[in-house]
Structure 1
Amino acid sequence: MSASTATSADAFGAPAPVLSFSPVVLPVPGRPVDLQVRVSAPATGTGLPVVLLSHGHGPSNNLSSLNGYAPLANFWAAHGFAVVQPTHLTSRTLSHLVADAPGAPYFWRSRAEDMTHVLDRLDTIEHTVPQLAGRIDPTKIAIAGHSLGGFTAALLLGAGLDDPDTGDLVHLGEPRIKAGVLLAAPGRGGDAFNGPMAAQWPIIGAVDFSTMTTPALVVAGDKDDSRHFTDIGPDWHADPYTLAPSPKTLLTLFDAEHGLGGIAGYDAAETTDENPRRVAALARLTAAYLHTQFHPGARAWQAACEALTTGPHSVGRVEAK
């Protein structure tokens, strides 16, 4: 561990042992399969903020499910958050069950509604997971999402969407969510959404960030060139920052591609830019951002930025509005 990495962890103290429990099964009327979630939380502590973590799409069979994103979920849980990870209907683990279900193959509305169902059932979750009852703070809710999960997070943070099927403007903002982290999220539509796969994913290009008012940290890799969707380069993934109203923060990670160093899973072969130091830094920076959002006046975010985004060994740069 580098000195700068160690310093950023000091804002939180030593990591706690993590308890992880899955699946918590939530029957949802009308959903083709039950909603299953994993819950990870520190073994000690009370008043825990909740982070809803929305998985991406991706080529793996299991990382796009409640079983993925351990490098982030474990760190966040070890540093004071209760992390809830659903398996969305887009998961490859469910493809044989839901291929012909309403909303397939994008399930964009269902993905957002999964998080609302989780919030509606927090009491059930809290009392199902051993040793969690009475330890979470239901007033401190954040959403985080990677790639397609970032798209889902944007909707829950207030972004609008022009439904390609109906032409209606849809708003799925969730007022119980107080902060967000968008990781390699898709950018704008319109003329910029011109790649060879754009026509296959019209829903991605239908988002409107101008109403995404909830505070959020947008994370983009400066080598994340999604040519399949756009020809404008890595800046496309900064659109949720650039086009949304304040307060927003942008973290641009140096040399990071779409996997941001490997956040979807430990040692995942699909990661094109594997970099454990980058993943460790990102985990600490995102935890620090959320900690400060829920504890106004705390120095966690400032300390993490000073340690990890300044000097010759910085992992990225930060700007805010």
Structure 2
Amino acid sequence: MIRRDTAAFVSALVLGFAPTVPAFGQDAPAPAAAPASPAATHVSLPSPDGRTIDLSVWQAENEQAVIVFGHGWGAQPAAYRRIIAYWIAHGFTVVSPMHTDSMQHPAHAEATPQSIFTTRIIDLAVVRGYVKATHPGKPLIGAGHSFGSLNALMEAGAVTIAGPQGDPDIKVVVALSTPGLVPQLVNPQTFTTVTTPVLVVTGDADLVQGFVTDPRDHRAAFDTSPAGDKMLMTFAGGDHSLIGNADAADFDLIAATTVDFMRAHALGDAAARARLQSLTAPEGVTIERR
């Protein structure tokens, strides 16, 4: 959990951090190309701070690992059903809490920027504990979009002003359009402790109004974490909602690469690792490894 002695300072630093909700973060229809996705099962988990956490669970039929997914600021788990449907079809159960910043959260009106960062950390810690108890022995994967990707990186060892929040059971991170460089929260040392394999997906038009004016900011987790099993995919014209609005070809590339990355590094799949190593970038896409 977040340390009590830093909670107030964290709240002050994130005051006003409320990036624009991606267009797909609302309850919009899934793209026609998306595979059919079963409805999530909802589980209510008690939080140590007295709240109830609504957890969406998409159970894979042939479960190989479990993805703990954090949605973007203001969004909701169901907004990502396009990529979630792909993951569960390929053997990855997905669990995703609805954070208090979600526009769909019943207590959204009471949530403040000062409280949201802390409750996100608490939510994910509770969810990981639940997954370890109910899916024993299954590898854990941290994934997220935007602010949710920062949470996933923190689970893998990234150190913000909240202090260390890493979980050694997180085997892989999939970071979709990170929140960029948040002054005083994400600093040059934040990702230097992330030795976990990380896949970052972004675009050269990936901006966040009022926060990210240079798309290169999204490279930070790739550029400044220790080399080894790090991969960056950058899509020409890709914006902050890329995971929701990518065309069929780009989406297929993103989805297949995430699955191979997770299989290679969480499951020790040699064939998946070989595909990653031989993957070449099509026109309009840049792939980097370090």
- TM > 0.5 fold call: yes
1:242 to 211, 218, 223: 223
1:97 to 96, 107, 110: 107
2:202·2:235 contact (CA, 8 Å) conserved in 1? yes
2:68·2:128 contact (CA, 8 Å) conserved in 1? no
Does residue 39 (structure 1) correspond to residue 57 (structure 2)? The answer is yes
Which residue is equivalent to 1:141? 140
Which residue is equivalent to 1:121? 130
2:201·2:233 contact (CA, 8 Å) conserved in 1? yes
Which residue is equivalent to 1:181? 174
| Deviation (angstroms), 1:216 | 1.0
Match of 1:174, as an amino acid?
D
Which residue is equivalent to 1:258? 240
Task: Flag structure 1 segments of 5+ consecutive residues without an equivalent.
Answer: 1-15, 59-63, 127-135, 164-169, 194-201, 265-270
1:19, 1:183 → 2: CA distance?
22
- TM-score where L is the length of structure 2: 0.77
1:184, 1:283 → 2: CA distance?
14
Which residue is equivalent to 2:32? none
Which residue is equivalent to 1:53? 69
Change in 2 beyond 3 A, CA 1:245/1:206: closer
Structure 1 residue ranges (4+ consecutive) displaced by more than 6 angstroms after TM superposition: none
Does residue 30 (structure 1) correspond to residue 41 (structure 2)? The answer is no
2:141·2:266 contact (CA, 8 Å) conserved in 1? no
1:112, 1:22 → 2: CA distance?
22
1:285·1:301 contact (CA, 8 Å) conserved in 2? no
Map residues 7-26 of structure 1 onto 2, 5 A cutoff: 19-26=38-45
Change in 2 beyond 3 A, CA 1:153/1:23: same
Change in 2 beyond 3 A, CA 1:286/1:123: closer
| Deviation (angstroms), 1:211 | 1.7
| Deviation (angstroms), 1:105 | 4.8
Does residue 218 (structure 1) correspond to residue 200 (structure 2)? The answer is yes
1:316 to 265, 285, 290: 285
Which residue is equivalent to 1:160? 159
2:86 to 28, 53, 75: 75
Which residue is equivalent to 2:120? 111
| Deviation (angstroms), 1:204 | 5.6
2:204·2:235 contact (CA, 8 Å) conserved in 1? yes
Equivalent pairs, count:
255
Task: Flag structure 2 segments of 5+ consecutive residues without an equivalent.
Answer: 1-34
Which residue is equivalent to 1:84? 95
Change in 2 beyond 3 A, CA 1:115/1:138: farther
